[in-house]
Structure 1
Amino acid sequence: MSDKKEPSPGDGIRSLKTSNVFRIINFELYTKPNLTIMGIGLVALTGCLGYIAYMRQKYEKLGFYGAIKDDGSEEFLKKNSKWD
């Protein structure tokens, strides 16, 4: 049929005999890493986390604090003094 070379150490999962269904379901195991897409994703993730940190710092600077409700959700409330 086909002349496949003998698997050598370090070939990983690509050298194992698997079905086409397994290869389709686990596509990411058989593709090579794409550094361009990985870089774009890393920049996007860093931007999202930076924006969340910026917005949280902005609300805290305005005098808000994060309060956890009984149902587990978070709500930003304005700080009130007991002396008012």
Structure 2
Amino acid sequence: MSGTEADKGKEVPGEKGFRTPGMRGVTTTTMFRAFNPELFMKPNKPVMVFGLVSITLCVGYLGYMHAMKENDQVLYQAVDSQGEKYMRRKTSKWD
């Protein structure tokens, strides 16, 4: 038996029954592909970096605005039931 006769029994990647690994090899409808394009596209690193930086900046800005809002609360002079005065931060009805 020669080497070529032994190879005849093995499947070659181009033969019938061979499937592409991952979601690209699955038979799907056009509507499924239209609503889930990220499953069928190759990863695009520059777009991923841009998205990650954008989300990070948005969350950082929201944190900054929250910190500025807390620092901006004005103190006022309150009087307790015994007539003593003390400083208190303004609060909203929601706190």
TM-score by length of structure 2 reads: 0.55
Question: 1:29 is aligned with what amino acid?
Answer: L
**In terms of Rg, which structure is larger?**
2
The alignment's C-alpha RMSD in Å is 2.5
How many residue pairs were aligned?
66
Q: Secondary structure at the match of 1:51?
A: helix
Which residue of the partner structure matches residue 42 of structure 1?
52
- Note the residue ranges of structure 2 that are not aligned, 5 or more in a row: 1-14, 80-84, 86-95
Q: Deviations over 1:6-25 (max 9, x none)?
A: 126xx112111223333233
Which residue of the partner structure matches residue 6 of structure 1?
18
Write out the 4+ residue segments of structure 1 that deviate beyond 4 Å after TM superposition. 78-81
- Note the residue ranges of structure 1 that are not aligned, 5 or more in a row: 64-77
Structure 2 residue corresponding to 1:22, chosen from 21, 27, 32: 32
Alignment partner of 1:53 is 2:63: yes
TM-score by length of structure 1 reads: 0.61
Percent of aligned positions that are identical = 35
Q: Secondary structure at the match of 2:64?
A: helix
